[in-house]
Chains A and B, each alone.
Chain A
Amino acid sequence: MKNLIGLILFLLAVAFLFRVDFIFYIIYVCIGLYVWSRWGIPYRLEKLKVKRLFQDHAFWGDKLEIKLRVENGSFLRIPWLEIYDSVAVQLSATRPINTVIPLPAKETAEFDYEVSTHRRGYYRIGPTRFRTGDLFGLYEEHAVELPAQYLTIYPRITPIERIQISSRLPFGTIISKQQLFEDPARPTGVRDFRSGDSMRQINWKVSAHTQNLMVKTLQPAIYLETMIVLNLFGGDFASWDKHANIEWGIELAASLAAHLHGKRQPVGLASNGTDPLQTDSTHPPEFDPTSGRLINQADSAQTLYSLPPNNGRAHLMKLLERLARIETAEVANFNDWLRTTTLPIGWGGTALVITPQADDQLCQTLHHWVRRGINPILIHTEKSNRFYAVKDRARQLGFVAVEVSAPADLEVAFN
């Protein structure tokens, strides 16, 4: 209705030339409506307060509710307000907010919807666009946008009750079967003295009381400094179930990390995959329209990274966050990468090498680690007939190889 200004001018000319005062009344009405449309709507939109409330981190399978609060802070009613919220398709448990409402003055409207957290990843929630206009179409519509926020869904963590992972580091907190690592801080009782027992282990008070030499028995313990090494080279995964195998590898890494954190052991992560948030600024990552996750562009330079072992809740969350975002890469072959990389663990540390498949070259590489004092454990995540050969080769080379292709294999393989 751009012609309204022309109409007002025409009415003015007629009113002055013919001296018809009542036409001024019509002019005032037209001007009033135009002013209401021209300046009233932007004023209301300026006073609009919108907020998105949700937890930006969620564990796999959590029920996550996103709440959108829209408050009309002006003294005038908003006649209609379109709200478009965009959520990744993979997250949609219920319909996102795509609605239109009238919003009275000084009132608040709240919308909530749930998102599905059954896929790990780094997702974008929003942006949410708010658009409004006048009732007559006399002036163009106005819109504001609530910027997008991000949601991290951690990978699924399979609870592990008990697994046996060997270490060469004594004096830890994990009970060990190896008597070599008896911890004097962990007395478990007394027994009769045997020939060859150290004099320092004699419990003199008990011996005096029983009139017989008694020796303290100590619980053996190890200190398990662990580095999880995750192979995410795309070419190493079988094409028939690639996606599931990738996810299982990451899930396994997260489960082991959580278990070790539960045992209060330091755990770190190294991978040849990529974190989209740590790419170079010339090729910023984009959200995949299909999966909704943040992914790297094909030609972007990939940053390989490692998290040195540490313990504590914060470190675990950081590690899980990395695992939530991590994606496969096609550039760094796992074996080549292992040869060139330096693990941030010292002598006696354990390296849990998670890979979909292994060969003799990899075994040779891990053998070098053994010789350097690192305790590698090869975890094979895809079912393969060749694994037995790999397992024999690993035993010959002085390290352990296990096959864990499903959650049920976890405790069986390590015990």
Chain B
Amino acid sequence: MSEIITQDPTPETADDEAILTPIEEVQRSNRFSRFVVQPMLIGIMVASIAGAFLSILNSASGRLPWLWMFLPILIFSLEGVYTTIWLTRPDQRLLNKTLYRAAEVLLIVVTVRIYSWWLTNSWPTVADLEVYLRTPSEIFADPFFFASAAILFMAWGWGLVLSEAFQHLALNSAEMRYYNMPVRERPAIERPSTPFRSLAYEQYGRHFILGAVLITAFAALSTIEIADLSSNNWRGIRRLPFPAGMLAALLAYFGAGFSLLSQARLAVMNSRWLYGGLDKTIVVEQSWVRQTGWLLALVGTIAAFLPLGSTTLIGRLLEGLIRLVFWLAVLITSLFAALFAMLFPASENNEEFIPEEFVPPQILPPEPISDLPPAEPGFPIIGTLFWIIAIGVTIAAIAFFLNDRGIKIPMPNWRKVWSAITNWWNSLWRIVVNQAVDLRDAVVTRLVRDEIEPDQNRPWRFIRLNSLNPRQKLRYFYLSTVQRTEQGELARDDSETPLEYAAELKEHLPQVAKEIDAVTAGFLQARYDDKEVTAADVAEIEPLWKTLRKSIKSQGKQKNDPPVEST
């Protein structure tokens, strides 16, 4: 006896708030499918294909841990899917999505780089860091990292495409709100735009078929092994047993793919039912999901008990047919090639082939090897700048990526650091500016005073000899000597060089000629030579300078004393 299901076409609004209305129930169901089921299925699909490809790579190059890349691929596929869902939220419409994706890419690159170092246990040494500092591109010159990143980006991109297709397929809240209003109360201006859901469904279907072709090809490739690729010998091909991981990947891909196909179909139907004003209860969606699962399980179980294709008679017939078609294709191609060879022979003029005269290669003399020592590497300014910018951009990208997800980086500390740096810089700048202002004022004062009193001597000042460095001391010895001689006949003319003046001075003070030469030589060394002046030089010249000073003093006293009249 059949059970009668009576459906009320006009569902009453629940008075009790705890009881969900049919629309709320459907929305909740949609949310679960959209945020839990679909991302998981997309992640499984993408990871299955990537896993199959990694399995092939693992077979081809077993020394590298390719299979361990499965984990980040799964994680970042899910991350990409959830990011897509998050970016399509209405409250994120003002967010710069391109910048956000760029930050995501940077984060993936950094993570894969660190993960690949960890997997291959090849953490960079200090020497490696120095190389990276000088040539930043060297950090990417790792085939494993490069290939891993490429595979991960392809998987991540595939996840994004599938996720975007499902975001287009899903009903948004504006549509649900608008089309659940009575027809007469719907304001035309608030009518939400309708996404092309059938196109999104077809887009998913194309990607599903493409992925199925790829994973099947990977599965087929995993069963053969070419012993020696270099020998170009096809007899070296060896058959391998079908790997269990590939079997799991195939099952996971097709199971998830068909389930997602059903979800996509449900989304298309949901929009049609909403737009058409059809009453729908949560039972429809629950039944849809349940029946999809049961159907896949039933068909899968029945298929498991069917004889395998190659063992059946029809399988053999088909195999023979395919081989026949293949053989015919080869035959036809060969016939055409032969026909072309007959119609268009290699040389139409039948001229004899004259080989070119052999010209022995010219041997150039070896280039002279420069005897210059190799230049010492300078400070890697560009590399340092690159890494400073790269690290800064990475930190900013991670902060940007996490900040909007609700993960707050402790920004007050960074602000403190930044404020300390800016304060230090400001105080330094103030000091420099003040000194520049003082200097300018001193120069201006000096110039003004020179203009007003050009003949007046400079004001004297005390100089503490011990506060001077060796170079300044040597200069002081000479200049103080010149200053002492300015009052008398020994005054230095402005046009005289130090050596000319030394010669003149020696004429007047021949007893201290040696001291004059030493002080002048010390001055020239301190003034014009970049050779380092040491305390020893000062110690050598200082007693000579003192002797010279006494001699000049005594010379001056003799001049100032009144002549003693002889009696």
Q: A residues near B, CB below 8 A?
A: 1, 3-4, 6-7, 10-30, 32-33, 36, 71, 77, 79-80, 82, 84, 94-102, 106-111, 113, 134-137
Contact = CB atoms under 8 A, between A and B. Distances in A.
B125 interface: no
B12 to A, nearest CB: 12
A6 B209 contact: yes
B287 interface: yes
Contacts of B381: none
A26 B310 contact: no
A94 B287 CA distance: 27
B287 A107 contact: no
A12 B276 CA distance: 41
B3 A98 contact: no
Interface string B1-15: 011111101100000
A98 B278 contact: yes
B216 A23 contact: yes
B310 A107 contact: no
A80 B288 contact: yes
Contacts of B280: 99-100
A16 B224 CA distance: 14
Contacts of A111: 6-7, 9
A102 B283 contact: yes
List the 3 closest pairs (A to B, CB-CB), nearest first.
Answer: A28-B303, A24-B309, A32-B299
Interface residues of B, number: 62
Contacts of A15: 309-310
B261 A1 contact: yes
Given A16-B319, A25-B308, A33-B258, 20 more contacts: A3-B209, A6-B209, A7-B213, A11-B212, A14-B216, A17-B322, A23-B220, A24-B306, A24-B310, A24-B315, A25-B303, A29-B296, A33-B296, A80-B284, A100-B278, A107-B3, A110-B5, A111-B6, A135-B266, A136-B262
B346 interface: no
Nearest to B320: A16
Contact of A79 (B3, B9, B288): B288
Nearest to A28: B303
B242 interface: yes
Nearest to B277: A98
Given A27-B309, A29-B299, A100 B273 contact: yes
A13 B326 CA distance: 11
Given A3-B206, A22-B242, A98 B213 contact: no
A82 to B, nearest CB: 7
Contacts of A82: 273, 278
Contacts of B302: 28, 32
A102 B310 CA distance: 39
Given A7-B209, A13-B322, A101-B283, A106 B295 contact: no
B102 interface: no
A164 to B, nearest CB: 50
Given A7-B213, A94-B9, A111-B7, A14 B250 contact: no
Label chain B's interface by main secondary structure.
Answer: helix
Nearest to A81: B284
B219 A22 contact: yes
B53 interface: no
B216 A10 contact: yes
Contacts of A3: 205-206, 209
B308 A80 contact: no
Interface in B263-317: 264-266, 268-269, 273, 276-281, 283-284, 287-288, 291-292, 295-296, 299-300, 302-304, 306, 308-311, 315
A39 to B, nearest CB: 14
13 contacts: A10-B213, A13-B322, A17-B322, A21-B242, A22-B219, A33-B296, A36-B295, A100-B273, A109-B7, A110-B7, A135-B266, A136-B261, A137-B264
Contacts of B216: 10-11, 14, 23, 26
Contacts of A135: 262, 265-266, 288, 291-292, 295
Contacts of B250: 22-23, 26
Contacts of A24: 306, 308-310, 315
B248 to A, nearest CB: 11
B550 to A, nearest CB: 110
Contact of A36 (B205, B266, B299): B299
B223 interface: yes
A198 to B, nearest CB: 73
B227 interface: no
Contacts of B10: 94-95
Contacts of B299: 28-29, 32-33, 36
B226 interface: no
A180 to B, nearest CB: 63
Nearest to B303: A28
Contact of A18 (B4, B9, B220): B220
A364 B279 CA distance: 62
Nearest to B255: A29
Contacts of B219: 20, 22-23
Nearest to B6: A110
Contact of A102 (B212, B224, B284, B322): B284
Contacts of B261: 1, 136-137
B284 A98 contact: no
A99 B318 CA distance: 47
Nearest to B202: A1
B3 A108 contact: yes
A16 B284 CA distance: 41
Nearest to B325: A13
Contacts of B217: 14
Contacts of A98: 9, 276-279
B201 interface: yes
A22 to B, nearest CB: 6
A22 B258 contact: no
A327 to B, nearest CB: 29
Contacts of A33: 258, 295-296, 299
B213 A100 contact: no
Contacts of A28: 299, 302-303, 306
A1 B205 contact: yes
Nearest to A25: B303
A113 B283 contact: no
Nearest to A73: B2
Nearest to B304: A25
B147 interface: no
A109 B9 CA distance: 12
B288 A113 contact: no
Interface string B193-236: 00000000100011001001100110110011000000000000
Interface string B389-415: 000000000000000000000000000
Nearest to B312: A24
Nearest to B5: A109
Interface in B495-537: none
A73 to B, nearest CB: 9
B242 A20 contact: yes
Nearest to B307: A24
A340 B277 CA distance: 54
B438 to A, nearest CB: 83
